Amino acid sequence: FLNAIGVLVVWTYGIWLISKREPDFTLGALNKFVGLATVFYSKLEMMSRIVNASQRAAACAQRIFEILDRSSNVPE
């Protein structure tokens, strides 16, 4: 969702700059900037997925160690 909003904001601002006839900002520059914004947001999304997966792995490991540390009630 953030990716779509971020790219929409970049497009809107870029079109506004082009309509004001900014000398340093062209359609090619807008295209490059949107591409870079898309790469940035995809990397950000990938990092959030990695953090989510590592947190889930840590929670699962904690549960496994709780089970392994439990003492047995069954006599030997």
- Report helix, strand and coil shares of the chain as percent, to nearest 5: 80, 0, 20
pTM: 0.59
- pLDDT tens digits along 7-44: 888 888 888 888 888 777 788 888 888 888 888 888 88
Cα–Cα distance, 37 to 10 (Å, whole number):
8
pLDDT per residue as tens digits for the range 40-64: 888 888 999 999 999 999 999 999 9
Q: Are 13 and 52 in contact (CB under 8 A)?
A: no
The angle formed by the CA atoms of residues 40, 43 and 48, to the nearest 5 degrees, is: 125
Q: Could you tell me if 26 and 19 are in contact, meaning their C-beta atoms sit under 8 angstroms apart?
A: no
